[in-house]
Structure 1
Amino acid sequence: MRTRPVALAALAAVALVAPAAPAAAAPHESSPIDAILARMTLPQKVGQLFTAYVYGNDANTPSPADAAMNRRQYGVDTPAEVVQKYHLGGVVYFAWTNSLQNPRQIATLSNGLQAASSGVPLTISTDQEHGVVSRMPAPATQFPGGMALGAGRNPADAYRTGRVTGTELRAVGINQAWAPVADVNVNPANPVIGVRSFGSDPGLVAALTASQVLGFQHGANTSAAAKHFPGHGDTATDSHTGLPVISHSREEWRRVDAPPFRAAIAAGVDAIMSAHIVVPALDPAGDPATLSRPIITGLLRGELGYRGVIVTDSLEMAAVRQKYGDDRVPVLALKAGVDMLLMPQNMQVAYDSVLGAVASGELTEARVDESVRRILTLKQKHGLLTWTPVDPATAERSVGSPEHLRVAQAVTDHTVTAVRNDAGLLPWSGAGEKILVTGWNSSATNNVAALAGALGATPLVTNLPDDQKIAEAVAAASTRDLTVVLTNRAGDTTVTDPGARQQKLVKALVATGRPVVVVAVRDPYDLAYLPGVSTYLATYGYTGVSMRSLARVLRGDAPPRGRLPVAIPGLYPYGHGLSW
């Protein structure tokens, strides 16, 4: 196997940009941790195992609507009271909980929650993968997501992404990132991972996973979590809504799925997140990996030798709740070997079930202590056992700083991939000629307008167009010298685009005979569903930074540097990419 060389190569690739890793304390040598454990009650220990979300933009004065949500979910009004009621070990932030509005607000919320914690400071976390999963709002620096970094092939870029992201998270009091994604995306139809993955090659994914772990942890003192073990890259089912079954043999798992996790472990990753997937070759019992002792303890702890924190994916997801009730899931996860329980469906039920399992003897207090010790060790490693408030004014200066934005643009400039240029349209050098930018648009990033602005073009948003909108786009294209049409998962006619409207739009535009460039702004596989397209690029994302890089490539101000980190089945192999 090449997993060890891959891990070492990943570490070597960032040696020039990563400071030396601090030596980790052996678990039972830490007297501060022993002292904390000795004074904790069992309810406090059990609380340390849980990470939950809370509603409100302030720890003590949420809006009436957020207070009502907290009351319905937890029986108390404020985020601070939720933390205190359950002795929470961690809190996770989302936009829909109103936790993430702007740097000053986030920093103030973090300070308030930490002040409410009883004796042991919190891990405060969020999903900041970048690309399609990016929780921090503007003005936070936006990087391209995993598959774009895979196209760039540069471990140093993965490191810089982790370092800058971690620095901005720490500035607002977030000390734990649920990133990077270590899944190897070998299934083009994967509905839940896709462009979140670095690619389909285990060696590439391993190298970039290790580099990003180092960027977060050593570059920014922010805890990282590699996800989703044992590997979520070959599924056609979304674990948020169903229970995926992975058909990989044990040998395939070792060859395809395991290398990125081995590399993350070699890089010293603080946490590994489990997947709610069934892998019969790894555990024939049919339990999701999160609840599987053969997978969590046997493989991750045993075969891979991992000694850090194991965290569940969200326990609200359908896949982990399909076979067992909400009172059993947390207990079974702990029995499997998990340490941290993320977002239980019913906090009171989950909390009581763990306490009840200890009371009945199904779990021992020593087993709880084992997980609490790992969590406290993670907190100690990042200086969280002696918490200091963050400065909201400093947060405002750090988040989205000019230097961070320059790094993000430089990284993104390495990722745009030119796949096909059969008509020789690109680079487009027509000075003063009229350009139309149309197609799919995100209301969050306004990518059509962003690209049009960068090109000096006319924007026309069509999204999933009806016949009238297609006719409008065709009429506009017939009076332009060039049309750039953006697509998003145009081949997914089950969920994303049930009427295949994007395919119809592209066909109609190509039929005009006018120059057309198609750009996939999410999955690069769209070309397989778009016959007749002679010019095709992939950006793997649709944020402003990706649109600016795309505009430079289209104009010839920069060459396309990306190479496909996955194959486009039947058309182009892994590693293909043009330049000019």
Structure 2
Amino acid sequence: MSDLSRRSVIAGGLAAAAAGAAAGSARAASTSSPAAVAGENGWVTSTMARMTLEEKVGQLFIQNVYGKDATTPDDRNLPLYGVASPAEVVQKYHLGGIIYFAWTDSVQNPDQIVGLSNGLQKAALTQRSKVAIPLQIATDQEQGVVTRIGPPATQFPGSMALGAGRSAADARTAAAITGRELLAMGVNTNFAPDCDVNVNPLNPVIGTRSFSSRPDLAAQLAAAQVAGYQRDGGVASSGKHFPGHGDTATDSHVAFPVITHTREQWESIDAPPFKAAINEQIDMIMTAHLSFPALDDSGNPATLSKPIMTGVLRGELGYEGVIVTDSLAMQGVRDLYGDAEVAVRALLAGVDQLLMTPAMDDAYAAVVQAVRSGRIDPSELDAKVRRVLRLKYRRGIVARPYADPAAVAAVVGTPAHLAAADSVTDRTTTLVKNDAKALPIAPNGKKVLVTGYGVSTTATLAAALTAKGATVQTIQTGTSPTDAQVAAAVAATADKDVVVVTTMKAWDPSVTDPRGGQQKLVKQLLATGRTVVVVAVRDPYDIAYFTSAPTYVATYSYSPVAIEAAARVIVGDVAPTASLPVDIPVAGDPATVLYPFGHGLTY
């Protein structure tokens, strides 16, 4: 991150940092009635008294399992857990939670999801035990680029799009609808919102998952989403990735990032969204697998750092909820220690729950042994389990562990929810450049070429323009167009009135476009002399790599809801009102701003 960028971010975040410091000493205790508090304490205390050591340790693990229902054996579980069905995995380890992904076949459609959720809860509640403890059933439904459950569940364009819209009310609405729909499918925990402040345009892992490069805006919208998920939606939420993953050019999934912020920069840049989330009584905070020497110079990842997890998060910020690791299968936490030792060290650092350990037998046994040997104090184990149980009680998981299959259709993807998503998304599309006044276009009778990134993206855009009366040809060229694909797209412009080209991380040749094909595509389309509208459907930074483009729209998302909103802006059905939630720097010169935070045009 450049010094210039740091100075501007620090200036923008001082007010939020000051407010967060005052409020972050935490919101006063629970507003629950004395009877509710007594009920919670009674259930937690009586449950703890009857739990075995193994059952307590099991509550500290949230794992992924393979299979679309709870009881059908799936051989992919065998090398991980030694048993085949998801229900057997839950019962073998007395698991605290399960996390859903598309690649585990957990999230195929709402009816399947609710069936799996209820089956897993049944396994947790009917195993041989003196206690009946329901599961946290979790997923990462951040929306935007990190969306695990697709349509018919209601889709939103994600955090940075909400940052462009600048509306805390819209951010809360998006979270509320997402939370209600998750809960209807039996998913009671959402690992969202992302509280990272994306001050590094070259960040490969956060980017549009962040609300903004400005701490005050990120803090405002993070707090709004916590309220939406927890108060309105009824699901637990988790702010991530503490102490902040916004200023790195390294992906912690595959390497070990180092954040070079000073302590003062952390206070003003990274901390405010987490303080705001804590002030909203967020249920969980997720750790980051990165080194932050200003907070702990040991070289350990934050996940394994007692100075960060216990000293800063618990001690300085006063956080009393559940601390959960990011996936322990990520390389950023596996470089220094073996998987079993990682689990123990995370707990010693102050973490409460361990997410997706790749070595469950070893990690589970290591934690049990660490308690028996005294390496982990039994009272510390009890404190962690108590936090987990309190979350389950307060969030209503104990009282209502099962979802109603008959009610799913009345909640998930309803017309009212879809209309709200369209309305919110219309306020996020940003018109960055319109030098030739090409927008809005009158589509009726126009011949239009839609080309660029994404099979579904280009198809959605083409369908929307066709519905408005345009005659549309579609040529999808992907993330790394070949010379032949570029030539075909250029040739197709010969009889077209308008060309709309979608780009997706065209700034990032190392990841999405090693041939530089997206940049070449745009430049050669511009050279045809046709009216060209560039639509960046993920990061807004692409314009820096083809500055001669006269017309540029940023959607921050390639979700159909965002692409359809962009089409409404292109044809003038909706006037753009959003503004950039980040600076767009000059290509190769991060200290020089090409388009500043707050820039945005309208009609």
**1: distance between equivalents of 2:40 and 2:358?**
36
Name the residue aligned to 1:302: 315
Kindly provide the CA deviation profile for residues 63-96 of structure 1, in whole angstroms up to 9, marking residues without a partner as x.
xxxx211112101111000000000000000111
Name the residue aligned to 2:253: 240
**2: distance between equivalents of 1:21 and 1:506?**
56
Name the residue aligned to 2:459: 449
Matches within 5 A, 1:136-175: 136-175=149-188
Classify 1:28/1:307 alpha carbon distance in 2 versus 1 (closer, same or farther; 3 Å): farther
**2: distance between equivalents of 1:26 and 1:361?**
32
Name the residue aligned to 1:56: 67
Q: What is the Cα deviation at residue 495 of structure 1?
A: 1.3
**1: distance between equivalents of 2:269 and 2:451?**
38
**2: distance between equivalents of 1:4 and 1:222?**
27
Classify 1:96/1:160 alpha carbon distance in 2 versus 1 (closer, same or farther; 3 Å): same
Matches within 5 A, 1:126-145: 126-145=139-158
Q: 2:380 matched to 1:383?
A: no
Name the residue aligned to 2:45: 34
Kindly provide the CA deviation profile for residues 111-151 of structure 1, in whole angstroms up to 9, marking residues without a partner as x.
11001114100000000000000001221110011100000
Q: What is the Cα deviation at residue 387 of structure 1?
A: 3.6
Name the residue aligned to 2:452: 439
Report if aligned partners of 1:27, 1:374 keep a CA contact under 8 Å in 2.
no
Q: Which amino acid aligns with 1:523?
A: D
**2: distance between equivalents of 1:517 and 1:204?**
29
Classify 1:523/1:10 alpha carbon distance in 2 versus 1 (closer, same or farther; 3 Å): farther
Q: 2:599 matched to 1:573?
A: no
Q: Which amino acid aligns with 2:116?
A: L
Name the residue aligned to 1:262: 275
Report if aligned partners of 1:4, 1:263 keep a CA contact under 8 Å in 2.
no
Name the residue aligned to 1:17: none
Q: What is the Cα deviation at residue 466 of structure 1?
A: 1.1
**1: distance between equivalents of 2:56 and 2:423?**
45
Q: What is the Cα deviation at residue 28 of structure 1?
A: 11
**2: distance between equivalents of 1:165 and 1:56?**
23
Name the residue aligned to 1:125: 138
**2: distance between equivalents of 1:291 and 1:242?**
16
Report if aligned partners of 1:9, 1:207 keep a CA contact under 8 Å in 2.
no
1:105 to 105, 112, 122: 112
Q: Which amino acid aligns with 2:598?
A: G
Q: Which amino acid aligns with 1:564?
A: L
Classify 1:162/1:135 alpha carbon distance in 2 versus 1 (closer, same or farther; 3 Å): same
Identity %: 55
**1: distance between equivalents of 2:172 and 2:31?**
14
Classify 1:475/1:55 alpha carbon distance in 2 versus 1 (closer, same or farther; 3 Å): same
Matches within 5 A, 1:495-574: 495-569=511-585, 570-574=593-597
Matches within 5 A, 1:480-499: 480-499=496-515
Name the residue aligned to 1:461: 476
Report if aligned partners of 2:68, 2:107 keep a CA contact under 8 Å in 1.
yes
Name the residue aligned to 1:477: 493
Q: What is the Cα deviation at residue 21 of structure 1?
A: 6.9
Which deviates more, 186-195 or 526-535? 526-535
Q: Which amino acid aligns with 2:53?
A: L
Name the residue aligned to 2:285: 272
Classify 1:184/1:356 alpha carbon distance in 2 versus 1 (closer, same or farther; 3 Å): same
User: TM-score, normalization: structure 2?
Assistant: 0.91
**2: distance between equivalents of 1:430 and 1:108?**
45
Q: Which amino acid aligns with 2:474?
A: P
2:89 to 82, 85, 96: 82
Q: What is the Cα deviation at residue 357 of structure 1?
A: 0.6
**1: distance between equivalents of 2:157 and 2:481?**
27
Q: Which amino acid aligns with 2:520?
A: K
Report if aligned partners of 1:10, 1:208 keep a CA contact under 8 Å in 2.
no
Name the residue aligned to 2:469: none
Matches within 5 A, 1:282-301: 282-301=295-314
Query: 3-state DSSP class of the match of 1:30?
Result: helix
**2: distance between equivalents of 1:237 and 1:549?**
32
Query: 3-state DSSP class of the match of 2:340?
Result: coil
Q: What is the Cα deviation at residue 430 of structure 1?
A: 4.9
Q: Which amino acid aligns with 1:536?
A: Y
Q: 2:223 matched to 1:207?
A: no
Classify 1:321/1:111 alpha carbon distance in 2 versus 1 (closer, same or farther; 3 Å): same
Q: Which amino acid aligns with 1:153?
A: R
Report if aligned partners of 2:17, 2:267 keep a CA contact under 8 Å in 1.
no
**1: distance between equivalents of 2:248 and 2:519?**
24
User: TM-score, normalization: structure 1?
Assistant: 0.95
**2: distance between equivalents of 1:380 and 1:3?**
32
Name the residue aligned to 1:116: 123
Q: 2:328 matched to 1:315?
A: yes
1:398 to 407, 411, 415: 411
Q: Which amino acid aligns with 2:59?
A: Q
Query: 3-state DSSP class of the match of 1:499?
Result: coil
Report if aligned partners of 1:3, 1:259 keep a CA contact under 8 Å in 2.
yes
**2: distance between equivalents of 1:197 and 1:551?**
24
Q: Which amino acid aligns with 1:449?
A: A
**2: distance between equivalents of 1:82 and 1:540?**
38
Query: 3-state DSSP class of the match of 2:174?
Result: helix
Report if aligned partners of 1:7, 1:210 keep a CA contact under 8 Å in 2.
no
**2: distance between equivalents of 1:215 and 1:395?**
20
Indicate the RMSD between aligned Cα atoms, in angstroms: 1.8
Query: 3-state DSSP class of the match of 2:142?
Result: strand
Kindly provide the CA deviation profile for residues 491-515 of structure 1, in whole angstroms up to 9, marking residues without a partner as x.
1111110000001100110000111
Report if aligned partners of 2:216, 2:272 keep a CA contact under 8 Å in 1.
yes
Name the residue aligned to 2:57: 46
Which deviates more, 172-181 or 395-404? 395-404
Kindly provide the CA deviation profile for residues 233-286 of structure 1, in whole angstroms up to 9, marking residues without a partner as x.
000000000000000000000000000000000011000000001011110001
**2: distance between equivalents of 1:312 and 1:146?**
21
**1: distance between equivalents of 2:276 and 2:86?**
37
Can you give the 5+ residue segments of structure 1 that lack an aligned partner in the other structure?
12-19
Name the residue aligned to 1:228: 241
Q: Which amino acid aligns with 2:179?
A: G
Query: 3-state DSSP class of the match of 1:91?
Result: strand
Q: Which amino acid aligns with 1:452?
A: A
